[in-house]
Structure 1
């Protein structure tokens, strides 16, 4: 899908990309519009300093999205994460819907046997002639993270957003690291989750327009837990920031080292660790794409059919329960 941007919107997108490269905090306004934070709060400055301390410990401790903040009415309270343990995730998410709709008009929750689907639209960038659509599976199991997909809709077309920074092999959004970033956890503020997705979509927009992913990024780990060189060679562009934590461009940082490695060998190692999947073997499930393309006429598929971690969790619990079905 061709990206049509006004001169002002293109300039703003480039400015935000430069800010992300410089680790400048961003804010997400209502309707999912991402802007550079004009006046970083004390909290964001503190967290930026925290990220710098974490960077000194190594890339595994870094956070990609922690400086993302919401800009909106001051009377909007966030839902405590601990609340889910008291009243359950179902009630937690249902009570948030009205507040979520204030930030993302038209957002809705679609019930499912094993959780709920969150469907929302984001404008992403002021002046953008298309929108991002997010369809996010929220299991009612606190131990299982959400699984969501993103699409561009505009000019009478619907297009999956990927494959950069999506999960293998279902092409779901990878907007934050569930353990390293501490950005969101089940039972958290749904607006914050949508904000993270909006910033991720803006990065994809920047990639489409300027051929470069802005800001820091993670790479899939190799067998030793370090950034996988095969993944970087195929996914990272030379002008993008390296994943090692140096805050240098990949082309002048780890790429020369990665190029010296036996390419076929590191490819085989990567595919062996990922069940034989090639690095480009990522796409949204057909049922998800059909649901979005139908404009809401087709309901989303059962969450259990498209959320492999939820299936594995339920199977593991059933095994501990003597094979009895467990929801």
Structure 2
């Protein structure tokens, strides 16, 4: 987490000393905002926070206004998201949220105060990063095939750690178990740090994690990466083979982060913000810095984001109901 915090400062530093330029085309649609607030529903130093601070610096540069990142953790991200739902639709309050909050939580927490489709206007995907299947070095498996063979012989079943019941990484493990037909024991933790510590310490043999979180441990040899949980290798980690190329198909689970506004925000305001996102995350320096953190900038259209949220929500809902997964 310290490394991610330093990365946040590094990305923010890319913008230091730059004299504000003319306002971006279309920015007048949001000219009523003397300041912008970007809400991140998790503590500082994580991937969502890094992206929010990158966007904040870029918006400040392009619009010449103060941009504040407001970390509002709690209730698995639901507190911060609900705060944006209740904000005025004037384009001054923005939300940067991970995929799980938009596509998994609505099924996992049926009593949520917000409805993603009803209460938010999609603006853009910001970035994605691959999830990684990793093992402790003591595990005698150098490939997915070897891990599957080992798991089939194991009694009791091998355990895999995740940051919590219903998290995207928990569900990635369930998909892996389902597609390979092996028995695995889910070991949930209250957050990524605890799960990671126990796998690095050898208490649990297997972990599904995000590349930005695991990268330094993979490089140091504290963890062995067996696969990215998708069909093709990731440009962010080209040396790590995919699940599909090792014979496990039908799993496409990446971590991605999106920008949304309260639903009442006028379309021209959202369109101007989308143009800003494309400019900020399309910059060569920002792209290179995020790539070093294991993330790939993806400034997609609002319609593409809406479609992705809708499709992934349906897929996760089916998996959650089939396996009877309940939030804890």
TM-score scaled to structure 2, two decimals? 0.27
Identify the structure with the greater helix proportion. 2
Identify the structure with the greater strand proportion. 2
